[in-house]
Amino acid sequence: MDAQEARNFGSMLVAFGYIYPLQDHRRLVIKADASLYRFQTPYFWPTQQWPAEDTDYAIYLAKRNIRKKGILELHEQEQYNRLHKWMNHKWDFIVMQAKEQYRAAKERRKPDRVVFECQERAYWVVHRPPPGTVSAMDYGLDRRVDPNADEAKTPVFYERVMIFTQQSIMRPRVKSSVSIGALVKYCATYSSHDPFLSACLPSNPWQTDDVTNWTLNMPNVETPTKTRVERWTFSFRELLSDPRGRNDFRLFLKKEFSGENLAFWESCEDLKWGTAATMKEKAEQIYKTFLARGAPRWINIDGNTMEITVKGLKHPHRYVLDAAQTHIYMLMKKDSYGRYLKSPVFKETLKKAACPEEHKFTEAQLEHNAKNRKPSPSPIILQQQEQEQKAKMAANVDITQVMSKLSKQAKEAPPPRPAAAAAASST
């Protein structure tokens, strides 16, 4: 076995929880350096086949909450709140178990207590991995079990059914009339925008080989259709999901001097769906641009959200800015979105929107369109063209503003001293 195979085998042992790192406990790999590792106690090995229940995880988080005096990691705090809300009916039992385990642990010697805490933390990192960490238990020993096989009717099975039934009874319900009314309202709103329920205007390109419909509905078309603009009024999510609508909303925010909000939201989306190699660099750049003190495009968020975000940026991952992004999203939704729908920017776009009329082709025209049919361009080429267009838009700088700024700086600069005066002062 060479060094690479040995390292891969060691990483598999770490990923499945047979050994665990002592320094960076969230990285379940073998590092090619002097990092220290320990063997996991056999009680926590995956071969024991005892399921990692949510109740046990809730007891573990409650115990850590007591030991850390309420200071948990961000993902642990989110899981703690979720489990507290979900298991509210038996939370007193969970807290009691956590206090008993914490009291029993304090009676041990300190070295034994520290080792057990590391072993328990390593177990839950494997079975409840933090965001951005791939869990080996998702495709490991459990995959050998046939999911279609009938489960044995053991007492554990019936206990799980009883717990599920109790939780179903306690879950809040919505009247069927209310849910059906909401469904009818949704269908009535979107029926005219569904290509299966309403005709494509001016024609269906799949039937007539006329690509006018696709041209009118390109992502960054200059003049959108009226149907497309009307869809922006359905919800704020519809507006942001349309590239043309987002550009229109960006223009409105620039006029209100709040364009940094949308820019921050887009940067967070790029971080969330971008490559893992540039994740840390993007997170640092977003912090310097929008969140740091004296940032060039500083955004206004509350102190609690800022504290959570800054704490998470010490160990950045894809969702480290979710709290700040949600705060800015709700701010734009509740404040800017309503004013945008009443603004001259939206009214002007709606006024100029294209209203194509239905065009019926004759048999001769359909044959002519079929003969002139061309293969559609590759999506890669379209993506490259879109990136080039964005680069051109970013490169367009208003020369008059630059010249006026330079002239203003020249006026504010002190006049140069004469050579004779400078020589006299030096002597």
Structure token digits, residue 103: 């009291």
User: Each residue of 154-189: pLDDT tens digit?
Assistant: 888 888 889 888 888 887 777 888 889 989 999 998
- Indicate the Cα dihedral angle 176, 181, 183, 186, nearest 10°: -160
Termini Cα distance of the chain: 80
Largest CA distance in the chain: 104
* Summary mean pLDDT of the chain: 82
Fold of the CATH domain 3-127? 1.10.1240
345 close to 251: Cβ distance less than 8 angstroms: yes
CA-atom Rg of the chain in angstroms: 31
Q: How far is CA 318 from CA 115, 182, 220, 273, 276, in A?
A: 31, 34, 27, 8, 8
One DSSP character per residue, 292-344 reads STT-TT-----HHHHHHHHHHTTS--TTTTHHHHHHHHHHIIIIIHHHHHTSH
298 close to 291: Cβ distance less than 8 angstroms: yes
317 close to 130: Cβ distance less than 8 angstroms: yes
Q: Give CA–CA dist 363/365, Å, rounded.
A: 5
The predicted model scores a pTM of: 0.50
HSE (CB half, 13 Å, CA atoms) of 122? 31
- Indicate the Cα dihedral angle 231, 198, 352, 347, nearest 10°: -30
Structure token digits, residue 266: 């887009």
- 3-state SS, residue 287: helix
Query: Where do the domains of the chain lie?
Result: 3-127, 224-352
Tell me what pLDDT residue 395 has. Answer: 65
| Bridge partners of residue 225, in order along the sequence | 354
Task: Report the top-level CATH class of 224-352.
Answer: mainly alpha
Query: Residue 47 gets which letter from DSSP?
Result: G
User: Each residue of 38-49: pLDDT tens digit?
Assistant: 888 888 888 777
One DSSP character per residue, 379-423 reads HHHHHHHHHHHHHHHHH---HHHHHHHHHHHHHHSPPPPPHHHHH
- Indicate the Cα dihedral angle 72, 74, 75, 81, nearest 10°: 70
Q: Where are the alpha helices (H) located in 150-302, listed in sequence order?
A: 155-170, 176-190, 205-208, 212-216, 226-231, 236-241, 243-255, 259-273, 279-286
User: Each residue of 54-78: pLDDT tens digit?
Assistant: 888 888 888 888 888 777 888 888 8
Tell me what pLDDT residue 425 has. Answer: 44
Region of poorest pLDDT, from 110-124, 219-233, 258-272, 394-408: 394-408
- Name the band, by pLDDT with cuts 50, 70 and 90, for residue 413: low
User: Each residue of 358-409: pLDDT tens digit?
Assistant: 888 788 877 777 777 666 667 677 778 888 887 777 666 554 554 565 566 5
Q: Of 356, 301, 292, which Cα lies nearest the Cα of 325?
A: 301
Structure token digits, residue 123: 């177990």
Tell me what pLDDT residue 396 has. Answer: 60
- Name the band, by pLDDT with cuts 50, 70 and 90, for residue 209: confident
